[in-house]
A and B are shown apart, each in its own frame.
Chain A
Amino acid sequence: MAEIRNFCIIAHVDHGKSTLADRLIEHTRALSARKMTDQVLDQLDLERERGITIKMQAIRLNYRARDGKEYILNLIDTPGHVDFSYEVSRSLAACEGALLVVDATQGIEAQTLANFYLALEHGLEIIPVINKIDLPSADPDRVRRELEEVLGLDGRGAILASAKTGAGTEEVLEAIVQRIPPPRGSVDAPLRALIFDSHFDPYRGVVAYIRVVEGQVQVGDRVLLMGTGKEYEVTELDVFRPQLEPVPRLQAGEVGSLIGQIKNLRDARVGDTVTSAENPAAQPLPGYEPAKPMVFCGLYPVENEDYEGLREALEKLQLNDAALVFEPETSAALGFGFRCGFLGLLHMEIIQERLEREYDQKLIATAPSVVYRVHKTNGEVLEVDNPAKMPPAGEIEQIEEPYVRATIITPGDYVGPIMELCQERRGIYQSLEYLSPQRAMLTYEMPLSEILLDFFDKLKSRSRGYASLDYRYIGHRPSELVKLDILLNGKPVDALSAIVHKDRAYLRGRQLVEKLKEVIPRQLFEVPIQAAIGSRVIARETVKALRKDVLAKCYGGDVTRKKKLLEKQKEGKKRMKRLGTVEVPQEAFLAVLKVD
């Protein structure tokens, strides 16, 4: 056990985490050069394309250190995005140390900070790595100062590296061996192993990725999952190279995977503790909480007959994504669909994209909503995740909405505009600290719903792309909220309803009808658009009827071409939803997000 090191890499998005992992793998020859594709740990296509890590992976490296000894290094990859912070925290719990990667050209960003504190909470040994030192604009001295002044780390201990050129790779490996402590935990104690990730394999069922904290587990053992209370027989144990390689046993300190005829991902939840069914541990490992969806939206097939196809696609995605929840819902406007819950906006986007790309589903997505806690006058308390389901104003005593603590790191020049933005978004100012003379950290508490409203894009545009954001849920708080209804052709469209703050209702109503006027194409009929609170109309616009759409010539050779144009027109219509006589394009349902 003295020769085992379990570690992870944490970083702000784009600071080079996955590339550094590649260098470590290459250096220890865990993969032959032939198998080495760029960023091997990011297995999903989507991850590679977007340059982000969604799903964690692990790999076991063999390293002969300068002290002459052979070490086993288990690298556990972590997702870099705020939506997946619970998963980050689980993979941190499986390690004794962390490489904290910081971009030498950018310095500490919001997620550097958030991940650093998470690692600190888990008591990990932190090795700072200043990456991308090959770039001309690299400023390692400034980053070193930030590490010291902001994080209180010893700047001299930071390793200068370039994952691109391979510089510093060996220093990183040596630091892992020398500075990260070996795992502790008695092999003789009752088994306690943490599930830090899992995936579904169509042939073998659930593959649970585990870190054995105490005791040992062997093929043939009966194990108990302490969170769910279910028992399984272990049919296979593996280590990651990175493909699975069977081993007879895993013991305290080791990282590997467990297969045991577990049919459903929900039965092997990330964070749960595996123990022996015969000799169970007295206490599970700390910190288990099922991932809780924070953001909901309705997903509807454009054609009603595709409903079953959408259900099957969602079920398949759920096999590999325990955080995705969905249940059937009906909308007067959109027909049959599903209310889906996500960890955050990115998670939502990824699911929508995968449904369209991998499962060929044509979707109408409604605007995302948070979960409101509604106290009714009759004492009942409801959780409402769909604005259309908000009870009538007369029955509501009070509404609470989720708040987050948002941390924003930005060049000092943009502090003013960003503070303005946060004020506009009902933010409550907490603090302003300077990380260095040029860089500031702002903290606000604000409603999560305001972050869903295009906040990140606005933040980027007000800081020329330089500001970074991280946020954590801090609880529900009472707010003065009202339901805004949208009427097309005089008929309310439930899927366009929004919950907004009372003081902004008029403004938002006006902006919303203006935006809808832009995105709803002109049709054969005039289409009135209204915004209303209860029965009171507060804003109104009209999409004028189509006037002219034909006067081109059309001769013998034009038949094919003309028809192609018409087919295109028809194809465009297919992506629209027919509400009564009005054709509404998909983006209309997201219009609420795009108003300024």
Chain B
Amino acid sequence: MSEKCITVRADLADLDEVITFVEEVLNGEGVPERIVFDVALATDEAVTNVMNYAYPAGDGSLTVTCELRDAVITISVRDNGSPFNPLATPLPDITSNLEDRQVGGLGVHLIRQLMNEVAYRRDGDENILSMRKQIPIAVIDPPPLN
């Protein structure tokens, strides 16, 4: 497949639109349900970060690109907000008990767990977060006939 992309406002009201886009693209390629779940959730976490924090001064947009090539799914999330590397945030302590437990950093932790590779780069005035997920060859379903 070629790359497919969607641009939305950096507003949580548009989060569903992004996730529906990613799910529809991957489902259309016959990607197994469980892989779609992992990629959709990782995309949710990345996009939510941008929507919440990238544009503190006002409105902005973000673009999500979805590509499937050689059984590797690549999701890129681009925004023109303040320079921010989410991968540089401290790792959460996921072993603490109820009273001490904090949830800051959990989104990035989930992205790292759900995807095989995650990379951040600043390119000009863009933040680009790229996430890759390998599909085990044995579980690729054929695309629907219609």
Tell me whether A and B are bound partners: no
- Residues of A near any B CB (own CB < 8 A): none
- Residues of B near any A CB (own CB < 8 A): none
